[in-house]
Structure 1
Amino acid sequence: MFSLRLITAIAALASTVVGSSVQGKCPTGDVDMKAFAKSLSRTAEVYYPGSSGFENVTTRWSVLEEPKVKYANKKNVPFLAYNGVHGALVSLGKMDHGIGISLSKLRSVKVNDDGKTATIGGGVMSKQITDDLWAAGKQTVTGTCECVSYLGPALGGGHGWLQGHHGLVADQFVSMNVVLADGTLTTIDADSELWWAMKGAGHNFGIVTSVTSKIYDIEHTDWAIETITFSGDKVEAVYQAANDYLVKDGTQPAGVINWSYWMNDGSDPNSPVIVFYIIQEGVKAVESTYTKAFHDIGPISINPQSGTYKDLANWTSIAVDSPPCQKLGFANPRFPIYLEQYNVPAQKKAWDIYAPAVSGSSPFNNSIFMFEGYSAEGVHAIAADSTAFAFRSENILAAPMINYAPAGEALERKAADLGNQLRNILSAATGRDDFRAYINYAYGSETSQQIYGSEHWRQERLRGLKHKYDPRGKLSFYAPIE
């Protein structure tokens, strides 16, 4: 259970949803919100159901299994920190009362005097850190989607455009300020035994108020993309070409990225398409070495564009104003799986299930099947046992995202069945006994082995640290260690 001292310590540091300014009239009963607020920082704000601003602060990107937040004047109250749209695990729904701690005011980005590191607030969004560092002639690995927080994905590893050079987002950490489950604010770095766990399983161990990260001089200002659209009958040829000319058994060049979406693009409601992106840094047009094989397949369209690193999110439809970044009241569960390469027959089998399931008047017709093929050179270069993130040998992150307007449990089960069916098709083709899932895309039904690695030593180390630093499971709403 959670002591009032703990809630106060964390809430005061977060300085947002709970705090010294009570927004609106306090609810009746024995809940003394104003007294609680006085114990917090002067810049903090308190919102509660029915108060002005509560809906705006607590509206989630995915409404599936929403945590329901309210404060009761007790000493034992659960809490949940959040700072952006990304995770949508059903385990979040286990929080049916308590305090939501928004980190949205902790949005500072400061390039340090050494020019090699930056101190980044716990509530910074990916777009802000990209823009602020770019203005200083710097950059670092962040998540790709502009409306996603920097630290949320990072605590689960964190994939990004620059990982081929530098590794995961978490691999950039130098130190961090973190509030532990007992309410203690501490600074940790590589000398702490908890450092290993924070880089891949960090959601289970603390609320990070700021982090010091490595940053790098901008090497390439020029970036280019080709967006190549295919009809579904080309699925086998497209992913064979991706294996042969891009993935290449994990040797994809550090400056080259392949991404693709299966989606309805609006041209024909009964025929979803494959939208394939080839991205390259340091050029004004993607080299034909990477594009010719795809041109030869016979695409519906080819759209080349050139610009800078800051254009990538817009080109791939994950900018702040892109549809995936909007909070529209939809459920957005994902069903991730890591792959070493594309299994061409499995891609065809999955397409044959996916296409009719999202076509026409289907409630799932805004769904997307995502395939993220970053360069993995920088990720592979770091020892797999050096962090809690376990899946460094993988080259592709795949995930169906089943988008729908909630309409009862039957539809929810149907969506989960479709997502799991698609993932299981790809899983069976890997030849493994179990699949490997990215924690930040997880549905929430995955086992600890599936999201944290199946090695016995790895599970034992995680459980040991969890027992030591959070023995009462206060930080266990997001992908709990079991």
Structure 2
Amino acid sequence: MAKLNTLLAVAAGATVWAAHHVAGSSSPGGNDLQNLKQQLSSCASVYYPGSTGFENATTRWSVLDEPKVNVVVSPCTENDVAEAVKYANKQGLPFLVYNGVHGALVSLGKMTHGVGIAMNQLSSVQVAEDGKTATMGGGTMSKVVTDKLWAAGKQTVTGTCECVSLLGPALGGGHGWLQGHHGLVADQFVSMNVVLANGTLTTIDSNSDLFWAMKGAGHNFGIVTSLTSKIYDIEHTDWAIETIIFSGDKVEAVYQAANDYLVKNGTQPADVSNWSYWMNNPDADPHNPVIVFYIIQEGVQAVDPVYTEPFHNLGPISVTPQSGTYKDLANWTGIALESPPCQKVGMANPRFPIYLESYNITAQKKAWDLYAPAVRGSSPFNNSIFMFEGYPVEGVHDVAASSSAFAFRSENLLAAPLINYIPAGDLAEEAAQLGNQLRDTLWAATGRKDFRAYINYAYGNETFEQIYGAEKWRQDRLHFLKKKYDPENKFGFYAPIV
């Protein structure tokens, strides 16, 4: 507590230290901060509560159980990250990385004070001369990676949402539109510079035992300051989508068709994705939520009727075809920078993910009957979305399960209710109850002893096995590496390995 009081006193008494300079301070701990500044590059920034920089760095897309910090360091070199960690360790303070709109685990709320490290200045994309790899700064956003590579005639697997960083999803595996060809985002890793819990900046690749852990459990082991990733020539500039909207009474027929014509027991073509949202859309139905179903295809200007006609035959409310390029996908599916899910407007956004092999039609109907009345009309949860993500999986399945800490390569579908609300009263408990009930409804139909959850969507009540896998060898390896590289659990706020 003495360390916290010292830091609070410094924060209260100091002039905002930002951009290229810091004002002197005679407050307790001021000398320590001056020493930190001397170790940082001239373009590094440090922000205190009350400054615009602090607010911008710490405002989150989900306000449920927000982490709290007393000072934010914004590094602009990789060594700055190491110095920030060393400073926090010297002061006996916890630290936490901020890197795009990512993660809403309630475990983050255990961060009640300390040092925030905002990675936004570490944004860069450099394509290698041979055109086979690119090196990206640790704070680079997925959209920046896509745009920079596209301009160079290249592409790689990134997260689908434009407001997440490249590394945020990647350290938990990372799903993306191109995974049917190339595997997960983490499967693209070639090497990385990473700051360890003790503040050491080191370079690792497949020769390091830590490399395995960074591919699926990386949030628990270090701060990636730069990443070298595989990249690929753009094979197809054309992409197409059909957005097909259905009323809720079609839920069984829609997901039976999805199983029959798209999922196909994990044999979905590498160039086709199916996504769907359960959500309120007053233009489609002013009184009830609807099913917004997307069929996306690569290399065409119109989605092949072999995939779309079975859905047309079900009597949808509307059908909207569009064509463009890979860069249009986020906008089409409502996850572009300007889309509602990317805005920081004081909403809570807990998710409750579960992996599935196929849609269980009975369970989909039960889940709909639970979800629809809970979110319709004037419900405080009426901006919620139940997400069903059906990426092509061939590239993910082709990578050996033992090659990374990501544990769930055999799965074909990712489902997750996102319960959106403005915090008030008992809504957090009600939202958690609804989200868990929806997940449990789908889980019960799998016949499995346990459900399997995507770490990047996790709520925070999932068990170690549900996030990192039930195999004993996998658990033992993670615990061994955690003890080796982070024995004091410095990286312990995001789906912690304990």
Q: Same fold judged by TM-score > 0.5?
A: yes
Q: Provide closer, same or farther for how the CA distance between residues 292 and 173 of structure 1 changes in structure 2, counting only shifts above 3 A.
A: same
Greater mean deviation of Cα atoms: 263-272 or 100-109: 263-272
How much has 1:60 moved relative to structure 2?
A: 0.4
* Kept after mapping to 2: 8 A contact 1:23/1:51: no
What does residue range 93-172 of structure 1 map to in structure 2 within 5 Å? Answer: 93-172=109-188
Does 1:291 find its partner at 2:305? Answer: no
Give 1:330's aligned residue. 347
Write the letter of the residue equivalent to 2:396: V
Give 2:369's aligned residue. 352
How much has 1:23 moved relative to structure 2?
A: 7.0
SS in 1 for 2:69: coil
> Partners in 2 of 1:201 and 1:156 — Cα distance?
6
SS in 2 for 1:369: strand
| 1:253-299 superposed Cα distances (whole Å, 9 cap, x missing partner) | 00000000000012344300000000000111000110011000000
SS in 2 for 1:382: coil
What does residue range 260-339 of structure 1 map to in structure 2 within 5 Å? Answer: 260-267=276-283, 268-339=285-356
* Kept after mapping to 2: 8 A contact 1:161/1:257: yes
Write the letter of the residue equivalent to 1:55: E
* Kept after mapping to 2: 8 A contact 1:164/1:375: yes
* Kept after mapping to 2: 8 A contact 1:24/1:52: no
Write the letter of the residue equivalent to 1:266: P
Write the letter of the residue equivalent to 1:447: T
Q: Provide closer, same or farther for how the CA distance between residues 156 and 19 of structure 1 changes in structure 2, counting only shifts above 3 A.
A: farther
How much has 1:58 moved relative to structure 2?
A: 1.0
Give 1:46's aligned residue. 46
> Partners in 1 of 2:468 and 2:344 — Cα distance?
29
> Partners in 2 of 1:26 and 1:61 — Cα distance?
33
State percent identity of aligned pairs: 74
What does residue range 166-205 of structure 1 map to in structure 2 within 5 Å? Answer: 166-205=182-221
Q: Provide closer, same or farther for how the CA distance between residues 334 and 224 of structure 1 changes in structure 2, counting only shifts above 3 A.
A: same
Write the letter of the residue equivalent to 1:246: L
Write the letter of the residue equivalent to 1:407: A
| 1:182-218 superposed Cα distances (whole Å, 9 cap, x missing partner) | 1111110011011110000000000000010000000
Q: Provide closer, same or farther for how the CA distance between residues 217 and 98 of structure 1 changes in structure 2, counting only shifts above 3 A.
A: same
User: Which residue of 477, 482, 488 corresponds with 1:472?
Assistant: 488
* Kept after mapping to 2: 8 A contact 1:61/1:85: yes
Q: Provide closer, same or farther for how the CA distance between residues 256 and 108 of structure 1 changes in structure 2, counting only shifts above 3 A.
A: same
* Kept after mapping to 1: 8 A contact 2:61/2:344: yes
What 5-or-longer segments of structure 2 have no aligned partner? Answer: 4-15, 72-86
What does residue range 206-285 of structure 1 map to in structure 2 within 5 Å? Answer: 206-267=222-283, 268-285=285-302
TM-score between both structures, scaled by the size of structure 2: 0.91
Does 1:394 find its partner at 2:411? Answer: yes
What does residue range 396-435 of structure 1 map to in structure 2 within 5 Å? Answer: 396-408=413-425, 410-435=426-451
> Partners in 2 of 1:151 and 1:327 — Cα distance?
20
> Partners in 1 of 2:375 and 2:441 — Cα distance?
17
What 5-or-longer segments of structure 1 have no aligned partner? Answer: 4-16
CA RMSD of aligned residues (A): 2.1
> Partners in 1 of 2:44 and 2:470 — Cα distance?
41
SS in 2 for 1:171: helix
> Partners in 2 of 1:342 and 1:381 — Cα distance?
22
> Partners in 2 of 1:302 and 1:24 — Cα distance?
60
SS in 2 for 1:297: coil
Q: Provide closer, same or farther for how the CA distance between residues 473 and 223 of structure 1 changes in structure 2, counting only shifts above 3 A.
A: same
* Kept after mapping to 1: 8 A contact 2:154/2:233: yes
What does residue range 14-29 of structure 1 map to in structure 2 within 5 Å? Answer: 21=20, 29=28
Write the letter of the residue equivalent to 1:436: R
How much has 1:75 moved relative to structure 2?
A: 1.7
Write the letter of the residue equivalent to 1:105: Q
Q: Provide closer, same or farther for how the CA distance between residues 465 and 279 of structure 1 changes in structure 2, counting only shifts above 3 A.
A: same
The ranges of structure 1 where at least 4 consecutive aligned residues each deviate by more than 4 angstroms after the TM superposition are 17-32, 71-74
How much has 1:416 moved relative to structure 2?
A: 0.3
* Kept after mapping to 1: 8 A contact 2:17/2:23: no
Give 2:55's aligned residue. 55
Give 1:14's aligned residue. none
Count matched residues: 469
Give 2:399's aligned residue. 382
* Kept after mapping to 1: 8 A contact 2:101/2:165: yes
* Kept after mapping to 1: 8 A contact 2:57/2:98: no
| 1:119-154 superposed Cα distances (whole Å, 9 cap, x missing partner) | 011001011000000000000000000111000100
Write the letter of the residue equivalent to 1:354: Y
* Kept after mapping to 1: 8 A contact 2:24/2:30: no
| 1:92-133 superposed Cα distances (whole Å, 9 cap, x missing partner) | 110000000011011110000111000011001011000000
Write the letter of the residue equivalent to 1:191: N
